[in-house]
Amino acid sequence: MNNHSKIILGRLANAAIILLLAAVTPVMAGGETVCIQCHGSQTGRGLVPVKPWQASIHAENGISCHNCHGGDPADSANAMSPQRGFLGAPREGAIPDFCGRCHIGIKTDYLRSAHGRALGKGGPTCVTCHDSHGVTKVSIELISEKNCTRCHSYERARIIRNAMEQTEANLVTLSRRIEQFKVSGVDTSALEKSLFSQRNSYHSLFHEVNPTRITAESAKIAAELTRIKGSLDAIDAEFHQRKLIGGIAVGAVLLLALLLNLLRKTYS
């Protein structure tokens, strides 16, 4: 076989491998599934979820139509067949289980709460507060008069928001300070770890919607954050002291150099 035909054979083999890969890869390049292709070209009810989903935190993290609704994302003809695990759209009462397959701890807290106990009787589900397709990154701004006075007064919601607001502000300030220390080469891994665990317990407070418990837990977290702040202040103080000692040392050396220079001049 000459060189030329070797190259051609090599190219053919590559092409065959690429074709084979394309055939066995269930989800096409860029995460484009048959669900998105078909729904994206519909009009009306079938098209509505596509755009909000594309802008969601779920799309950003690779959670696509079939991860929530089931079905076969690679076979257009059988995509929505129950035999391929298609679940359809959940009815209201089934939504906490639907979302709770992935958000397990939150589902437990929610079901225990006044909201979970009122499921199907006027209480909110996950999608009342987060939407179903346009789900975005959460923040404390979700607790607002606009969102929380559709079904009852804002009094109890306000207690929750106030308790959580201070914690949120402290968390942000402390993580910024730790970031600055890290940049200047200080080992902050222990402090970072405890801040991370405080942030996690803070974020798991909300769904029980129990003002008394949230206020009490926020106070505990606040105490722990004060301790972390104390450690950061101590590092700060040490830094200043070192700077001061460093400054004095530099001053002393300069003074000595000046004196030596004077002495040299005097003797020569």
CB of 112 to ligand HEC, least distance (A): 10
Q: Is the Cα torsion angle 111, 112, 116, 117 positive or negative in sign?
A: positive
Nearer to ligand HEC, 67 or 197 (CB): 67
Nearer to ligand HEC, 137 or 265 (CB): 137
CB of 182 to ligand HEC, least distance (A): 23
Nearer to ligand HEC, 92 or 236 (CB): 92
Q: Angle CA(221)–CA(226)–CA(232) in degrees, nearest 5? A: 130
Q: Are 33 and 73 in contact (CB under 8 A)?
A: yes
Nearer to ligand HEC, 88 or 251 (CB): 88
CB of 170 to ligand HEC, least distance (A): 14
CB of 193 to ligand HEC, least distance (A): 17
Nearer to ligand HEC, 50 or 235 (CB): 50
CB of 25 to ligand HEC, least distance (A): 16
Q: Which of 156, 147, 100, 155 is nearest to 124 (CA)?
A: 147
Burial 23-41 (b: 16+ CB within 10 A, else e): eeeebeeeeebbbbeebee
Q: Which of 184, 165, 161, 167 is nearest to 228 (CA)?
A: 167
